[in-house]
Structure 1
């Protein structure tokens, strides 16, 4: 087969273009140019026999290194014509993301209905293959066609167009005998009725014109692929967000499960919602206590939490006495207002053990299980072995295990061998993950069949005690802790405790670790939220000796030298500015009557009224260890006061080079800053603003553009980014370029000049919501600060008079309506905020509805719906309200 590629692309000196066929990067085909703009090349290439559609992309190389590749999950397509065609000629344009890339995602396309391309008969001498990208069709009702000014193309008669085939999702093609066409001709792409074949809609714009040099026998010409647009309103969607564990049905076991998720999808579809968003569902079983309720601290990026198994979908337990005991326990747990995490997991785990003992032979020998195992063995074996060893040694901290603390694949293979004594224990975890896969896939396919987007959540971090940290430690920096700088959630910053990523290592294999993770997600979800997308630009890394987040630094970052600091007009004093500054005034102010106790126990006198921390208390972790188990308020106050002493520095030393420095975050609120005179404060503020808001924009842009294009285009899922917090200017640059949906929350406006976001100004490419799982509900927010509530009521909602004390249903309905009518592509509201519109339905206990308090690292995640899904489906008036509000907003 001879292939000729032609493309116009302006390069700079030293760059060249290549073609990569079928993702075979190692055998790229070099193109040639005379002017650095028009490139072409002809090659003999054997196309694979097992596919009628072969993808290819253009790449830019410099010094034998790929420096740019076409974006997008949709590559160019080689579409085979017939056996007599031996020379394919392609005229192409460089393709970045298609316009409105979200429309090409699996979120908007449901179940793909692809067809084999129709081949022409062998007596056709030469042909033309048209290729078009068109995501805007109603797939069950419409097909793409082509119509034009010559007889073969129907002479513009609306009932005589040619129907094209969808050879890949949203990629349409048709091959036409070139001798049957009259050149030059005009044509258009059209939407056809699937039933009658007649034209229903014409593409926008002027007629297209076509004229080429005559083709030789055996040649197939591929004109440039084109995007096709019809004059249709942009589709917008409404949906709801709820954690799976929060679902409640009459038959659930005290916690939501994947069967309940399926029912919730039914409710969403019944109320015209077309999106359901959930929190992470990965296995978090580390301690087997309620601490494991935190869903962002998973022990595996692939394995799901066993508590989400719907026991109703399993074979019945044959032991009638045991079955009755479990049913009694289920009823007790299911009546509780909140999730009893430990009780639920203990009971469900015991039940699953009994079912496994009863059904293991049947399930593990089934063809369906064998298929699942072969596709997932790479992660399933290490996860199952890890879980067995965690149970055996009573801890997920593999560093403390007496054996297997260092991962050895050969030793783990022996542990997982079918003949080994440990196999029954290891295979129990195979069984759990297989059942979870089957049930989640069923829920996911149910969502697709209902036209509902199922949106997952990808946490930014991994647990230190996780399978990935055990198996692939080279991907992580274990001597740092990931977190977030101070924000509206936490004045001291957030310390998540996760190791940070070794991006240099990940880059070497083109971020394979992430691409595998995303591919696994795509089996179930059609959209996903990137938790803390800022972490792909830079992560807030906190030293392992710190508890709070104030002593962190951005990684990667550009630290400052002492001379550069002086260049801002601030005389650099290393000890004064980088060691905790402690004096009598601070001790008296922070500790009051306990100040002498602190002087005698935790600090030592240095000179004049200056103190330093004693060596045994000179880090926050040492202080934390001293106060372990002391929960009285006095001890807690002293501990927090000592933390603040230790973080009272003006600069933080760079993690790699102690002679380079970073201005400490939010230090303007601390005592050390107040020791500076007004000139020094002004100089420090100039330096601070330069460092945090100007210095890194291009640097962090480049960092993100190394990673995010590869990751976001590795699947067809719709990509949404959680871009809250301290957002550098380069973040919207990247998100706009990659068409990643932003997150818009009215109480956290993107413009620092605004107290509230203006919903009518939200960008189209965004997800809007009233609040997230990290925030209070709408009704909770209404009661947090009376002054803020008053300004919101008067200035943002435009009401006069006295502010209602508790947000009444009519007011909540107004806020919900404002969000539904905003320009955002997705409007996804928490279930609590949906129910707030109905005073007869909503939970009377406002506080119990809050899911998480980020400032509390040991928060118990246990909120549940206060009514069952069965009751929810029967709330006709409430459900009708939602349908009407969504319909009136045009989100249908």
Structure 2
């Protein structure tokens, strides 16, 4: 970045926020929706004094529910759409839309002159990703396999075969385009309401993308793949706090040389798209921009990998040159080297500190609040951690005593004492999981890294969502300078 770059003004004021994914909203459907509950949630945040709402990625999740393994990093999750907000809707609010119902929505959009104009404008603006995504979805539904197992002409995107597929699948393509239009419309309505209430929306952008995705199918040249579209290097992390064998993510590594030669345009488009939805963005696995763990394809685990250099500051310079200064947060957990810290500081990003990692060593532990810097986002725990209540109950009594000693109050109640510790810290932002504010045990845990069952499915009870907790924490937000006194 050039010498004129500076910290984004979002990070110059102390704020606190809540982590809650829209899929966790209560309601009659299979997952939460972007309807009236979401708008009421924004009102609750404003009334409570919390001024940020952080979500997980809003893109379509994989078959296990993970939004970090998506068929598109640009698309919205269609099942989050509130069906009662669709034109001429007469179905059940709890149901997912059928193809016939989507066809009826398409017909309503096309019959309404103003709505059709808005839809066509959206399609033209988003064509750089939407056209490939809609076609990918239609072909995959027909083939029933990942793109790299499709017939070669479709796998390798022969123009004549793609033209034939567009004609053959025109109806499902139009359904997908209309669904994305309505996702965008409903989320931006929430974003507008949040802005009116003084709430900032905080998004989450995974660094890597799923192998079986429209993104990789449409841009194979940007990834380490062989001629058949198979990965040659797999992204992941080495053994760490979460797993003794490391983690394999089934995601291909980038060809940063190709991206650089193209001015990092694809990454710039990703940031631009996220900024249409969010005011600030967490960059997941930030250390991968300095160097990322690459594992040979076919390896049984992530132990025998190697660090491969990332793009470094050049990527963030290109983003800022094209889009202007961005409010980005670096997820810098795990094995962080001085080089990663230097990159984060040069890019003017706050890093993350998680209190659950703070009490397993000595006074030099960087996750202890006395070691925080103001350019920090403090979390008692993240979506990958146990809830605070579950974590606390699993600690031995000796560790609990050490933590109470750190707080300087043997009678401190938990997990409230840890929440106040995060709020009182010098970190510019503090993000609290709703599960922790509600004092929920590990039955409310969102994700356990390295496992494939019982994740991403937590739903909050409606009475709890709109309960007394919202008034309980306002005095602490004022006390710790994260909200002006009334």
Please give the TM-score of this superposition, normalised by the length of structure 1. Answer: 0.50
Q: Give the alignment partner of residue 33 of structure 2, picking from 257, 273, 278.
A: 257
Aligned: 1:243 with 2:21:
yes
Aligned: 1:424 with 2:19:
no
Q: Give the alignment partner of residue 848 of structure 1, picking from 440, 443, 451.
A: 443
Unaligned runs of 5+ in 2: 225-230
Q: Give the alignment partner of residue 310 of structure 1, picking from 73, 82, 85.
A: 82
Q: Contact 1:242 / 1:831 at 8 angstroms: preserved in 2?
A: yes
- The whole-number CA distance in structure 2 between the counterparts of 1:750 and 1:553 is 29
Aligned to 1:464: 211
Aligned to 2:470: 879
Aligned to 1:707: 315
- The whole-number CA distance in structure 1 between the counterparts of 2:151 and 2:456 is 29
Q: Contact 1:527 / 1:717 at 8 angstroms: preserved in 2?
A: yes
- The whole-number CA distance in structure 1 between the counterparts of 2:481 and 2:99 is 48
- Alpha-carbon distance change, 552 to 405 in structure 1, aligned in 2, over 3 angstroms: same
User: Helix, strand or coil: the match of 2:356?
Assistant: coil
- The whole-number CA distance in structure 2 between the counterparts of 1:712 and 1:485 is 31
- The whole-number CA distance in structure 1 between the counterparts of 2:403 and 2:361 is 20
Aligned to 1:543: 296
Aligned: 1:796 with 2:389:
no
Identify the structure with bigger relative contact order (alpha carbons < 8 Å, sequence gap 6+).
Answer: 2
User: Helix, strand or coil: the match of 2:8?
Assistant: helix
Aligned to 1:451: 198
- Alpha-carbon distance change, 306 to 528 in structure 1, aligned in 2, over 3 angstroms: same
- Alpha-carbon distance change, 884 to 401 in structure 1, aligned in 2, over 3 angstroms: farther
- The whole-number CA distance in structure 2 between the counterparts of 1:396 and 1:712 is 35
Aligned: 1:359 with 2:115:
no
- The whole-number CA distance in structure 1 between the counterparts of 2:220 and 2:136 is 14
- The whole-number CA distance in structure 1 between the counterparts of 2:22 and 2:278 is 14
- The whole-number CA distance in structure 2 between the counterparts of 1:297 and 1:428 is 23
Aligned: 1:768 with 2:386:
no
Unaligned runs of 5+ in 1: 1-69, 72-94, 109-233, 331-343, 557-699, 802-807, 837-842
- Alpha-carbon distance change, 859 to 541 in structure 1, aligned in 2, over 3 angstroms: farther
- Alpha-carbon distance change, 719 to 728 in structure 1, aligned in 2, over 3 angstroms: same
Name the one with the larger strand percent.
1
CA apart distance, 1:378:
2.0
What is the root-mean-square deviation of aligned Cα atoms in Å?
2.5
Aligned: 1:531 with 2:284:
yes
Aligned to 2:126: 376
- The whole-number CA distance in structure 2 between the counterparts of 1:484 and 1:529 is 18
- Alpha-carbon distance change, 791 to 427 in structure 1, aligned in 2, over 3 angstroms: same
CA apart distance, 1:309:
0.4
CA apart distance, 1:861:
1.8
CA apart distance, 1:398:
3.6
User: Helix, strand or coil: the match of 2:142?
Assistant: helix
- The whole-number CA distance in structure 1 between the counterparts of 2:194 and 2:162 is 37
User: Helix, strand or coil: the match of 2:270?
Assistant: helix
Name the one with the larger helix percent.
2
The structure having more radius of gyration, on CA atoms, is: 1
User: Helix, strand or coil: the match of 2:234?
Assistant: strand
CA apart distance, 1:357:
5.9
Q: Contact 2:359 / 2:403 at 8 angstroms: preserved in 1?
A: no
Q: Contact 1:240 / 1:829 at 8 angstroms: preserved in 2?
A: yes
CA apart distance, 1:379:
1.3
- Alpha-carbon distance change, 410 to 788 in structure 1, aligned in 2, over 3 angstroms: farther
Aligned to 1:441: 188
CA apart distance, 1:436:
0.7
Superposition pairs for residues 410-809 of structure 1, below 5 Å? 411-416=161-166, 420-477=167-224, 478-556=231-309, 703-711=311-319, 714-749=323-358, 753-754=362-363, 757-787=367-397, 789-800=399-410
- Alpha-carbon distance change, 830 to 884 in structure 1, aligned in 2, over 3 angstroms: same
Q: Contact 1:525 / 1:717 at 8 angstroms: preserved in 2?
A: no
CA apart distance, 1:757:
3.0
Q: Contact 2:378 / 2:422 at 8 angstroms: preserved in 1?
A: yes
Q: Contact 1:306 / 1:436 at 8 angstroms: preserved in 2?
A: yes
Q: Residues 317-364 of structure 1: CA distance to partner in whole angstroms, max 9, x if unpaired?
A: 35xxxx3xx35xx2xxxxxxxxxxxxx7xx344575364365253369
Q: Contact 2:401 / 2:410 at 8 angstroms: preserved in 1?
A: no
Aligned to 1:835: 438
Please give the TM-score of this superposition, normalised by the length of structure 2. Answer: 0.90
Superposition pairs for residues 270-419 of structure 1, below 5 Å? 270-284=47-61, 290-291=63-64, 293-318=65-90, 323=91, 326=92, 330=94, 347-349=96-98, 352-353=101-102, 355-356=104-105, 359-362=108-111, 366-401=116-151, 403-409=153-159, 411-416=161-166
Q: Contact 1:526 / 1:716 at 8 angstroms: preserved in 2?
A: no
- The whole-number CA distance in structure 1 between the counterparts of 2:126 and 2:284 is 25
- Alpha-carbon distance change, 402 to 507 in structure 1, aligned in 2, over 3 angstroms: closer
Q: Contact 1:761 / 1:823 at 8 angstroms: preserved in 2?
A: no
Aligned to 1:818: 421
- The whole-number CA distance in structure 1 between the counterparts of 2:329 and 2:275 is 14
Q: Contact 1:527 / 1:719 at 8 angstroms: preserved in 2?
A: yes
- The whole-number CA distance in structure 1 between the counterparts of 2:112 and 2:324 is 31
Equivalenced residues, count: 473
